[in-house]
Structure 1
Amino acid sequence: MNRISIVIPCFNEAQALDQLFDRLDQALAAVEGATFEIVCVNDGSRDNTLARLLECQQQRDELVVVDLSRNFGKESALSAGIAAATGDAVVPMDADLQDPPELLAQLVDLWRQGFEVVVARRADRSSDSWLKRVTAGAFYRAHNAMSDIQIPNNVGDFRLMDRAVVDVLNALPESRRFMKGLFAWVGFRTAAVDYVRESRVAGTSSFNGWRLWNLAVEGITGFSITPLRIWSYLGLAVAAVSLAWGTWILVRTLIFGHDIPGYASLFVAVTFLGGLQLIGIGIVGEYVGRAYIESKRRPPFVVRRVYRSPASTTD
């Protein structure tokens, strides 16, 4: 009999937990020949998420609660849950039920057919705002254009992964983790199941525009050095144009005489090139910063405590 772990990062999700477990119960009952472990990671929630999880654990022997020492962010919380999972297969999903648990039976069925990874692909994202759909599409296109690692479009963290895949993910040494990129990097035989993305059942997303932007920068700089190359090519192009323009000024001056200096054009040229240099330094600094942070070898998360049911066989 297969053992399947459901990993759910939680940050201020107390209001959604009752509906989450009700839907999970129905979805898990539809999967035959399997036992389940539900690993909920409390990512430094400021509401009563931890207390509600511990209350739920009193009635659920399969529930494991991983309490992090502070808020480390979703990527780290997801890593903590995957590290704590003990199943033959692991399924990360969101607590807000935008990832429908009813899809579990299809994911497990394809896994049993021999696929090591079964991704859930969003066929309809109308529940997301127009801006989020546009920016998400732009990110996927930009990332895949610059990186050799192709992230499937409209595929999030919701997927099933075989134990072999999970072991590889847990062995990766980096502390700055962009999980969608790592999921794509490890490879393995992959199948996809389409679904319609639902609206949140409670609360609001903790990902604002600034955090999404930082996540996008993390994804691109973590899996591609193309931004550095682009700036090298841009510098070469600017230098070539500047050399050609200087040559033209020299020839024109020798033939037609000395022109009155153009202070406006000089000011524009200096500020434009200065701006390019600062942007280039910023891009280099982004990569240097990543190398500096990784060199410290700090773990991506710190577990304060793991709560398991006394009746759990995995204690």
Structure 2
Amino acid sequence: MPRLTVVVPAYNEAAVLEIFHARLGSVLAELPLDCDVLYIDDGSSDTTWELIGALAARDSRIGALKLSRNFGKEAALTAGLDHVDADAAVVIDADLQDPPELIPALVERWREGFDVVYATRSAREGETGFKKFTSALFYRSMERVSDTRLPRDTGDFRLLSRRALDALHQLRERQRFMKGLFTWIGYRQTAVHYLREPRQAGVTKWNYWRLLQLAIEGFTSFSTAPLRLATWVGMAASLLAFLFGIWVFGKALLFGDVVHGYPSLMVVILFMGGVQMLALGVIGEYLGRNYAESKQRPLYFIEEKRTPRARS
């Protein structure tokens, strides 16, 4: 019988973990597959790890990894996928915004021959209009600037075949944007649409600052468009400065060189300085990522590991 592993990254999710596992367990019990669950505790400061242990004592299908500290969701996902030895894996968050009841639909498309089956949100309940707007802006901007076409309105919730898992395992870059990596590997991919529900309990760990950082990670990992933009802005600023210089020279030639124009001079200086700082900032983002890659640090460290009793 084919085996499926459900990979669940968790960071301070003690408030929702019991409810999540009850719903997930009901779904897995109905699947005609040999199923297990792999929880990854990403350095939680609440009782998430203890709760995972209590769940594992009752459910022999549960395995778990405890990371040595909070490495971030992308690293936690990588750790989980690195330890999957099943025929396929489903990635899902524990906050129940992504319903476990959709997993059979993902499995069905996998059995039709698809390597990656991603869940696309047809609607997003429980989120502000500003959050929906910024999310839509990000995905549509990525479509324009990146050669890797990210599916719109799609998070990490998806199924990956063994072939897709093996391909991901070869991608060891330190600056990781998993949504892009899932798409970049290629193979046969398809979508399953669903209604995203509000978070059932606890609080989101993704404030606007962290979402902005993730967006910058996505742009710099899968596009050089910001570098090109800095180049074009610099060229445009130089052209404007050249035209302004001709205008100043012509004015002085025709009407004399009267000392005027301090405000306009300051505007030009500040504008050019701002353009230069923008270009340096963009270059710095890429340089910082090269610096992080050059150090070749491990992506994560595991403090404790538990194997499902059903397989031990």
1:251 paired residue number:
250
The unaligned stretches of length 5 or more in structure 2 are none
Query: Distance in 1 between the 2:5 and 2:173 partners?
Result: 23
Check conservation: 1:44, 1:72, Cα contact below 8 A: yes
Q: Secondary structure at the match of 1:305?
A: strand
> In the alignment, what sits opposite 2:280?
281
Give 1:252-271 correspondences, 5 Å limit.
252-271=251-270
Looking at structure 1, the residues matched to 251 and 236 of structure 2 have their Cα atoms a distance apart, in angstroms, of 22
1:113 aligns with 2:112: yes
In the alignment, which residue of structure 1 is the partner of 2:202?
203
- Normalization by structure 2: what TM-score? 0.97
Alpha-carbon shift at residue 132 of structure 1 (Å): 1.2
Q: Identify the residue that residue 2 of structure 2 maps to in structure 1.
A: 2
Give structure 1 regions of 4+ aligned residues with deviation exceeding 3 angstroms: none
Secondary structure, in 3 states, of the residue corresponding to 2:160?
strand
Q: Tell me, in whole angstroms, the C-alpha distance in 2 between the residues paired with 1:17 and 1:249.
A: 69
* Contact 1:176–1:300 (CA under 8 A) maintained in structure 2: no
Separation of aligned partners in 1, 2:190 and 2:183:
12
Deviation at 1:242, TM superposition (A): 1.2
Whether the aligned pair in 2 keeps the contact of 1:31 and 1:104 (CA below 8 Å) is no
Q: Secondary structure at the match of 2:102?
A: helix
Alpha-carbon shift at residue 295 of structure 1 (Å): 0.4
The 5 A counterparts of 1:27-66 are 27-32=27-32, 34-66=33-65
The residue aligned with 1:13 is 13
CA distance in structure 1 between the partners assigned to 2:101 and 2:86 by the alignment: 19
Higher mean C-alpha displacement, 252-261 vs 120-129 = 252-261
Percent identity over the alignment? 42
Q: Distance in 1 between matches of 2:65 and 2:145?
A: 36
Contact 2:43/2:69 (CA < 8 Å) preserved in 1?
A: yes
CA RMSD for the aligned pairs? 1.1
Q: Any idea what SS the aligned residue of 1:176 has?
A: coil
Q: Normalising to structure 1: TM-score of the pair?
A: 0.96
**2:233–2:275 Cα contact (<8 Å) kept:** no
Give the CA deviation at 1:128. 1.8
In structure 1, the residue matched to 2:301 is 302
Deviation at 1:146, TM superposition (A): 1.0
Q: Residues of 2 paired with 1:174 and 1:270: CA distance?
A: 40
- Cα distance in 1 for partners of 2:295, 2:130 equals 37
Amino acid at match of 1:18: E
Equivalent runs, 1:180-259 vs 2, <5 Å: 180-259=179-258
SS of residue in 1 equivalent to 2:65: strand
CA distance in 2 between counterparts of 1:162 and 1:232 reads: 41
Tell me how far apart the structure 2 counterparts of residues 274 and 135 of structure 1 sit (CA, whole Å): 29
Query: What SS does structure 1 have at the residue aligned with 2:53?
Result: helix
Contact kept? 1:37, 1:87, Cα under 8 Å = no
Asked if 1 retains the 8 angstrom alpha-carbon contact of 2:5 and 2:84, the reply is yes
Does structure 1 retain, via aligned residues, the 8 Å contact 2:68–2:303? yes
Secondary structure class of the residue paired with 2:58: coil
The equivalent of 2:25 in structure 1 is 25
Aligned partner of residue 6 in structure 1, secondary structure: strand
Q: How does 1:128-143 map to 2 (within 5 A)?
A: 128-143=127-142
Q: Aligned residues, how many?
A: 312
2:97 paired residue number: 98
